[in-house]
């Protein structure tokens, strides 16, 4: 994949264009909701979504990743706007964060994502699926207080409800209209997965999620005529885009950055924070997207960081929110049948056209219909089959997977990944200890063989094995299979050799000390 801007291929347009429309339907309310959760102008979320679609997709190192404003940054954004004193000063920080990401990509920091264990990545996918389901249940029931925007356990809205308390509150006051729309939508989405639909040349061209949105909107309009008490009205239950009646009104929605803030230390501090957190989330998301990719392609992480950098610089310049690769949009893209970056580009084009020309029409879409699409996506990410596959791999894979799932569900994406990563590292080190050294004996003759490179992480296991060597033994230490032995291991063996002279233990070394040049 070349390092420069490249146009998406049209080879899979038949699948990518419908998928792009589906991603648009999912992304639009998320863009608005994240802006609302961040305390930013609603249109700033739309700007970020459009830039992500039109620009990042052309530069991206991933064929299926979809970028946009991320819920994981909402708390940081809200605090930063307050700290910097104005949204215009904050957009300068967004612009500068893009420049920092460009530098990270140039210095090849994308390699950091390769150090996250697969069990943790799979745990992230399952956790996001569970969070999506839990978060969309209230919207499916007609409780739309958080506007689909917040993925953290604790809401950033003023009600301070968490994932479960909000869901239980929604069960306490369901909306019949929302439930009817949701049930119809879910039934249609399940039907659209059946082979009989997929085999139909005509029906196969119609994306199930698009049909769900159209029929859900028509059903809500029918409620207005025949059952007004069931109709979902504009009071939080519908998509709410700013409506511009003239071109001048539309361009007035953009916010120019306060260029004078570029010299402020606090602005640079926010910029670096956004760049680091956004880059980490992006690297994790493209790792997860690669795992979902039916063709199992490997993304260019450094190219992706550079793409995010350009996107954030432009988003900040136009008055938009920070951009990252987002697993909710990316997974919706994959499950909608996308095959190339064309789908992400199409989602950006459709979003731009829609907000500029079709806002009144889009503002009639009930959130319950969009929630149903996400419910199905969430189930696919966290299906029982997926969990059982991880269970079958044994404790060293399942425990980090499960810990990551629980941690993300009860905190947020980045904190949960951190906890899962620590758990995964523990099991990797534990497994490495047990497989690094083999000890066998025949009477008083003992052989200790190093099966792989030896570093300080193997020191505890080495000491444990050495303590079991009995007095008067003859011990051979064989380093033939190790290309590298670090100084901690040499010092541990030499300390044992000193003590061995008092216990009558004789040591013999095979291909051991010739590793010292590598260690030094």
What kind of architecture, by CATH, is found in domain 443-519?
2-Layer Sandwich (3.30)
Dihedral sign for Cα atoms in the order 386, 389, 394, 396: negative
Q: What is the pLDDT of residue 437?
A: 87
List, for residues 57-68, the tens digit of each pLDDT value: 999 999 999 999
Nearest C-alpha neighbor of 243 from the set 71, 404, 358 = 358
Q: What is the pLDDT of residue 519?
A: 41
Percent of residues in the chain assigned helix, strand, coil, to nearest 5: 65, 5, 25
Name the pairing type of β-strands 324-325 and 67-68.
antiparallel
Q: What is the pLDDT of residue 161?
A: 75
Instruction: Extract the tokens encoding 424.
Output: 């995964």
Instruction: Extract the tokens encoding 170.
Output: 């929604």
Q: What is the pLDDT of residue 4?
A: 59
Q: What is the pLDDT of residue 107?
A: 92
Name the pairing type of β-strands 474-478 and 445-450.
parallel
Q: What is the pLDDT of residue 350?
A: 95
- List the chain residues with pLDDT less than 50: 1-3, 517-520
User: In Å, what is the CA distance from 211 to each residue of 25, 192, 216?
Assistant: 11, 10, 8
* Residues 293, 67: Cα–Cα separation, whole Å: 16
Q: What is the pLDDT of residue 159?
A: 59
Q: Which residues pair with 238 in a beta bridge?
A: 366
pTM of the predicted model as reported, rounded to 2 decimal places: 0.79
With vertex at residue 484, the alpha carbon angle to CA 479 and CA 490, rounded to the nearest 5 degrees, is: 65
Query: Please, where in the chain does CATH 3.30.750.24 lie?
Result: 443-519
Q: What is the pLDDT of residue 158?
A: 52
The conformation of residue 337, written as its DSSP 8-state character, comes to T
Instruction: Extract the tokens encoding 31.
Output: 């863009």
């Amino acid at each position: 994949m070349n390092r420069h801007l490249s146009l998406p291929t049209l080879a899979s347009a038949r699948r990518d264009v419908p998928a792009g429309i589906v991603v648009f339907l999912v992304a639009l309310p998320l863009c608005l909701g994240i802006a609302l959760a961040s305390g930013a102008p609603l249109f700033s979320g739309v700007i970020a979504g459009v830039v992500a679609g039109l620009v990042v997709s052309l530069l991206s190192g991933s064929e299926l990743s979809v970028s946009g404003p991320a819920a994981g940054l909402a708390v940081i954004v809200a605090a930063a706007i307050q700290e910097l004193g104005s949204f215009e000063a904050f957009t300068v920080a967004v612009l500068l964060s893009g420049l920092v990401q460009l530098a990270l990509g140039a210095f090849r920091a994308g390699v950091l994502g390769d150090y996250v264990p697969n069990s943790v990545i799979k745990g992230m996918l399952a956790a996001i699926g569970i969070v999506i389901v839990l978060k969309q249940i209230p919207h499916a029931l007609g409780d739309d207080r958080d506007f689909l925007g917040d993925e953290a356990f604790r809401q950033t809205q003023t009600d301070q409800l968490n994932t479960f308390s909000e869901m239980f509150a929604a069960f306490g006051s369901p909306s019949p209209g929302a439930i009817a729309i949701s049930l119809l939508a879910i039934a249609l989405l399940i039907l659209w997965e059946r082979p009989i639909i997929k085999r139909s040349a005509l029906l196969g061209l119609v994306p199930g999620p698009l049909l769900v949105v159209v029929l859900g909107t028509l059903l809500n309009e029918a409620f207005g005529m025949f059952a007004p008490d069931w109709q979902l009205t504009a009071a939080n239950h519908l998509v709410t885009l700013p409506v511009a009646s003239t071109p001048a009104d539309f361009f007035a929605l953009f916010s120019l950055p306060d260029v004078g803030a570029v010299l402020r230390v606090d602005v640079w501090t926010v910029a670096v924070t956004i760049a680091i957190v956004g880059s980490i989330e992006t690297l994790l998301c493209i790792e997860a997207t690669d795992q979902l990719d039916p063709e199992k392609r490997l993304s260019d992480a450094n190219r992706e960081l550079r793409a995010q950098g350009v996107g954030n610089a432009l988003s900040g310049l136009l008055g938009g929110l920070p951009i990252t690769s987002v697993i909710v949009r990316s997974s919706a893209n994959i499950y909608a049948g996308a095959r190339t970056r064309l789908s992400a580009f199409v989602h950006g084009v459709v979003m731009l056209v829609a907000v500029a020309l079709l806002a009144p029409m889009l503002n009639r879409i009930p959130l319950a219909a969009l929630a149903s699409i996400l419910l199905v996506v969430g189930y696919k990410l966290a299906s029982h089959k997926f969990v059982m596959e991880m269970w079958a791999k044994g404790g060293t894979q399942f425990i980090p997977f499960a810990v990551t799932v629980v941690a993300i569900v009860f905190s947020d994406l980045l904190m949960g990944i951190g906890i899962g990563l620590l758990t995964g590292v523990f099991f990797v080190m534990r497994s490495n200890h047990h497989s690094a050294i083999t000890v066998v004996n025949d009477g008083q003759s003992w052989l200790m063989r190093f099966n792989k490179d030896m570093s300080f992480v193997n020191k505890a296991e080495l000491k444990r094995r050495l303590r079991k060597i009995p007095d008067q033994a003859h011990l051979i230490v064989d380093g033939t299979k190790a290309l590298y032995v670090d100084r901690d291991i040499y010092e541990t063996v030499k300390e044992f050799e000193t003590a061995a002279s008092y216990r009558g233990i004789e040591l013999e070394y095979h291909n051991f000390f010739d590793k010292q040049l590598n260690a030094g």
